[in-house]
Structure 1
Amino acid sequence: MRFGAHISIAGKIYQVAERAKRIGCNTAQIFSRNPRGWQLKELLLDEVKRLKDDLERFDIHPLIVHMPYLPNLASSKVGLYLKSVNALEEDLRRSEILGAPYLVTHIGSFGESSREEGLERVSEGINTAFNKVRNDVILLLENTAGAGRELGSRFEEMARIIENIKEKERIGICLDTCHGFVSGYDFRTKKAVSETLKLFDNLIGLERLKVIHANDSKSPLGSHIDRHWHIGEGYIGEEGFKALLHHPAIRKPPISSGNLVSSFRSEIRNLPIIIETPFKESGDDLKNLAILRRLAK
């Protein structure tokens, strides 16, 4: 396992490496642009080269890019939908430039249409983007809290999206523990973690799990209220995170047999574990990462 945090890109993009190193990351997640706008800031090749060199020097990998907040691949509004697909294409290209093997995206809300129509639009939008951008970046669907008309809170919905993707080797999952918990998937005990990951494997396949967003929850199980909290201080608790970090699916690469994982390889899996916990004081990320590392021992 490799532990990291979401790192600010304020200033120069290469400053990400030093910021990540300062809090003890050996993986990191970033936005490649302003997360609350549509405008793009050009990636300068000399700055990108310095970023890559520093990440390699500090042994920080993989770099993970997260899509901005505004795109909605499930939107029933034509204008917003087309802008969202275009944003996905742009971020697939930018991820390749940055040397990031993974791009994480939220799935979106289906608006005034039906849930089924929203799921179909997501798959169609991803297929369009994949057809236009030919690279090796793997798009990771992030599960959601399931508030309102939000898609992607159920493993069944994510499986349905993947089912309709033409190039399935380019798609994976980023599992957010807080989002999963408030959607009704329990992570509080060893038994609960095993049951949740078994269901994930049955519906999606553990081989598609590429990144974990490790966030405790300030909201109770099944509440659909998305409030990330510090590791061990929320409803999931230290016992839950310890169980998750020691589960074979997280620690070792799975061996697929048909649609289900039958066993696990002997080597340690370098699965990226990213925190998106509240950041109010300078030591918050350092503290949360230290707790995860302790629980993983």
Structure 2
Amino acid sequence: MQLSIVIPLLNEEESIKELYDWIASVMQSNRFLYEIIFVDDGSTDQSWNIIENLSKRNPNVKGIRFFKNYGKSQALHAGFKMAQGDVVITMDADLQDNPEEIPELYGLIKNDGYDLISGWKKKRYDSVLAKNLPSKLFNWAARKTSKVKLHDFNCGLKAYNHNVIKAIEVSGEMHRYIPVLAKNAGFDKIGEKVVQHQARKYGTTKFGMERFVNGFLDLLTIWFVSKFGKQPMHLFGALGALVFLIGFSFSIYLGIDKLFLNPTGRLITSRPQFYIALSCMVIGTQLFLAGFLGELFIRTKKTSENYKIAEILAQKNTEVSD
């Protein structure tokens, strides 16, 4: 199969049918073999019923419905797990991403050999204070921290080589950092394409300002995981040894001072250096143990999905669609 289009959504009943018609038209005009995977992230409106009806009309339409709202990262994880296309496209369901971009994105992956192409909404139709300025600050911090040179990490319109989505694990709220996850997994050919951004036609955004706070916290997490996730002892062990050495040095000083330099002086326990030494040795030991336990956890952990699927629509793919 040439293309898998993964679309996570939450309460987008007004736009699903229109988006499907648009995508189907693009697929037919370019003679693509394709599948559309709608991932319903716990919608409370008629979104799932619409997806079911579309699947009955067109066997290329598949669906995954979560029991409740787990988040966009979990929706993408489930969609990636089902996807079978040589090239995988992700896009939002709110009609702000333009399906006309898909053929060029496909070509960049299939013909030009890119591992991942991220969309760049250079001209946006969002509120300047609510989204544009925080988004620019967020993207600047992400570039500096990850060394991945993209202008728009959070753009939902992206294209992936099939091998990329099967090699990475999107969890928590890490969907913003899929390019970084791909780079950490060894996929270095990451590009960017300016894409058309459209004003939201129906409903309101499902994300608030808290997503930027969470985004920066996730950025710190992914920086730490990418740098020390495989070998936590390199951080905690080194810090623990350093702090313990500082405390041990203080204790040696106190011992020499009491035994040889000032044997009649005040008690060691009445001196502030004693508590500095004790605290440093205890904290250093705890840091070292944290690194040791982290190494044990990495070597014994078992991965499992942190979402529950209520229903799956999956049919044999055909070349014909309406």
Instruction: Give me the TM-score of the superposition, normalised by structure 2.
Output: 0.24
**Which protein is richer in helix relative to its size?**
2
Q: Which has the higher contact order (CA 8 A, sep 6+)?
A: 2
